[in-house]
Amino acid sequence: QQQVKQSPQSLIVQKGGISIINCAYENTAFDYFPWYQQFPGKGPALLIAIRPDVSEKKEGRFTISFNKSAKQFSLHIMDSQPGDSATYFCAASGTSGGYQKVTFGTGTKLQVIP
């Protein structure tokens, strides 16, 4: 059972364009929504995160939009650069049974072409 659905699976964007990755979740007990960025041969690293009481969070060229009623959230990368080429995972987090339960989406492989 995939509790966090992520799309698209892969994305090709031209340099300077906008990259958009979408996620939907089912469990309303989630209360934190991070995005992780993973480069080849490396582990994922936290990119940006949002709480459900906020509709948008922006950090530099990266913005999370959050729609609590629709149980959807998305990552927008403005002015996409070749260095942004990586795999992006959305996630949903909550405290369950005494530990931080993080459920990851299936990942989006982004390629930014010059």
Partner 1 sequence: NAGVTQTPKFQVLKTGQSMTLQCAQDMNHNSMYWYRQDPGMGLRLIYYSASEGTTDKGEVPNGYNVSRLNKREFSLRLESAAPSQTSVYFCASSEERNYNSPLHFGNGTRLTVT
> Which residues lie near partner 1 (CB under 8 A)?
4, 6, 9, 31-32, 34, 36, 41-46, 49, 51, 89, 93-95, 97-102, 104-107
Buried-state track 36-64, b at ≥16 Cβ within 10 A, e below 16: bbbeeeeebeebbebebeeeebeeeebbb
Pick between residue 17 and residue 71 the one whose CB is nearest to partner 1.
Answer: 71
Q: C-beta of 31: minimal distance to partner 1 in Å?
A: 5
Q: C-beta of 46: minimal distance to partner 1 in Å?
A: 4
Q: List Cβ neighbours of 100 (8 Å cut-off, separation of 6 or more).
A: 93, 94
- CA–CA separation, 47 vs 87, rounded Å? 11
Q: C-beta of 85: minimal distance to partner 1 in Å?
A: 18
Pick between residue 81 and residue 103 the one whose CB is nearest to partner 1.
Answer: 103
